[in-house]
Structure 1
Amino acid sequence: MIRLAPFALIGLMAAPVQAFDLTNMTEDERQIFRDEVRQYLMDNPQVIMDAVAVLEERNAANQENADLRMVEDNSDAIFNDGYSWVGGNPEGDVTVVEFLDYRCGYCRKAYEEVMELVEDDQNIRFIVKEFPILGQASLDSSRFAVATKLAAGDDAYEAMHDALMAYKGPTDTQALSRLADGLGLDSAAIVAKLDDEAVDGAIRSTHELAQTLQINGTPTFVFGDQMIRGYVPLKAMEQIVSEQRDG
């Protein structure tokens, strides 16, 4: 096989664009060039890893910029939809939003840390977006939680939300009614609200918002203007909140 000497390859690559036009190469020249490039990559595989790392950094930066724009463009629906539960400090200087599914393992893992963040900080406005995506049990749980809010208010919703984050039993109406009774809630009033259009309307609107924001997994967080897809440990959440305050 004919091979170009390294200095010849460097010269070829440094030549004017028209001299390096692959369309003007003969088939033999093109094959020689391919062989040289392949051999260079085989001899220097770290070049490939470096290129992949650069690509991943660019993709991450592009996604972050796109997320910033999407949050800005949909801020009212994210932060002031009028139906999602608002906890923590309603007047807090940083708003944290979580899209969650009660049957999501990572949502359950994040739950205690999110609660610790909100309780320790005391200046976070926390919003829960009911986003059931893992099947009928998820949908049953979210519908019952929303119905609880409609029937009995924010405090009752918070109690039901907390219970559902740990609950692993069946999610038929009878089973969830027993769960509500155990919390001292009026299960009959909650069940009566399950047929209210506002229940399915709230969940449907959240799904539509998630689609607009290109969210397809849980948990997904919005910290101020920053969207984070996936589980975030407590220390990282604290850092993000601090950065949001610093502007």
Structure 2
Amino acid sequence: MEKSMISCFRRALLPVLVAASGLAQADEASVQKGINTFLGVDAVASVQKAGIGDLYEVVLKSGELIYTDEAIGFIIDGQIIDTKSRRNITQARLSELSRIDFASLPLERAIKQVKGDGSRIMATFEDPNCGYCKRLAKELQKVSNVTIYTFMIPILSADSNEKARNIWCADDKASTWNDWMLNNKQPVNASCDSDAIQQNAEFAHRLRINGTPTLFFADGNRVGGYLPASEIEKELTAVASRKD
């Protein structure tokens, strides 16, 4: 997993509030300029009023969320909790920001597996050499009535790219993928038009996917990291209940 952008500035940004005086006051555009100046890099993706006092919400290109005021007199790098509702405002906003339109996924570039009636859908982004992806593969064997779209993104090593190509070019992609992920059966050498693999890697980068596995559900909700079958079932059930 890549180091987060903001973590590179931990010594400059104290864990909660950090003075950053001397920068210009103004609107969202100048808040963006001021934060970029303070961090010393073009790091800001968007700025808007946070709806909490005079705070501005600043979304970094790394996907992280920080807060500041108009004068950039301080920076908050941490969680904001609503004490009345006990709701984690920061986490809720991050979940919203990471949500996608499932229909935007290029499913033709994924390995498709249909289990049972396939009525529920989900997508995963995985590296064939990812240990947690192999654990996920075992858990997915316990989930029924689901269609799984797996996007291979070889981000761990050159060998990952070779394995991804051999799996993609196999006559039966799904079986070859499962043979490797579940049984460590090496995919045989194969060649074909495998541009889909590089395109998936580029697409994952645009989605700010920095690690594997990353899971998406039909409502666009993202979960970064391994999930046991019980948690996958909860996510799939939650999506179905919202449709009813």
Partner of 1:220: 214
Choose which of 165, 171, 178 in structure 2 pairs with 1:143. Answer: 165
Choose which of 112, 124, 133 in structure 1 pairs with 2:155. Answer: 133
Amino acid at match of 1:165: M
Aligned positions, number: 160
Q: Could you say if the C-alpha distance between residues 129 and 223 of structure 1 is closer, same or farther in structure 2, counting changes exceeding 3 Å? A: same
- CA distance in 2 between partners of 1:126 and 1:145 (Å): 16
> How far is the alpha carbon of 1:211 from its aligned partner?
1.2
- CA distance in 1 between partners of 2:97 and 2:156 (Å): 26
- CA distance in 2 between partners of 1:61 and 1:114 (Å): 27
| 1:64 maps onto 2:95 in alignment | yes
| 1:86 maps onto 2:91 in alignment | no
- CA distance in 2 between partners of 1:207 and 1:59 (Å): 28
Amino acid at match of 1:126: I
- CA distance in 2 between partners of 1:227 and 1:241 (Å): 12
| 1:100 maps onto 2:102 in alignment | no
Aligned residues of 1:77 and 1:209 also touching (Cα < 8 A): no
The structure richer in helix per residue is 1
Amino acid at match of 1:205: Q
- CA distance in 2 between partners of 1:91 and 1:238 (Å): 15
> How far is the alpha carbon of 1:52 from its aligned partner?
5.3
Partner of 2:227: 232
Aligned residues of 1:101 and 1:132 also touching (Cα < 8 A): yes
For structure 2, the residue ranges without an aligned partner over 5 or more in a row are: 1-76, 82-86
| 1:158 maps onto 2:186 in alignment | no
Tell me the alpha carbon deviations over residues 9-57 of structure 1, each in whole angstroms, 9 at most, x when there is no partner.
xxxxxxxxxxxxxxxxxxxxxxxxxxxxxxxxxxxxxxxxxx9553693
- CA distance in 1 between partners of 2:184 and 2:136 (Å): 16
> How far is the alpha carbon of 1:63 from its aligned partner?
1.4
Measured on the aligned residues, the alpha-carbon RMSD in Å equals 2.5
Amino acid at match of 1:65: E
- CA distance in 2 between partners of 1:221 and 1:129 (Å): 10
The structure richer in strand per residue is 2
Q: Percent identity?
A: 19
> How far is the alpha carbon of 1:61 from its aligned partner?
1.4
Aligned residues of 1:220 and 1:230 also touching (Cα < 8 A): yes
Q: TM-score, with normalisation over the residues of structure 1? A: 0.58
Larger-Rg structure: 1
Aligned residues of 1:141 and 1:164 also touching (Cα < 8 A): no
Q: TM-score, with normalisation over the residues of structure 2? A: 0.59
For structure 1, the residue ranges without an aligned partner over 5 or more in a row are: 1-50, 170-174, 178-189
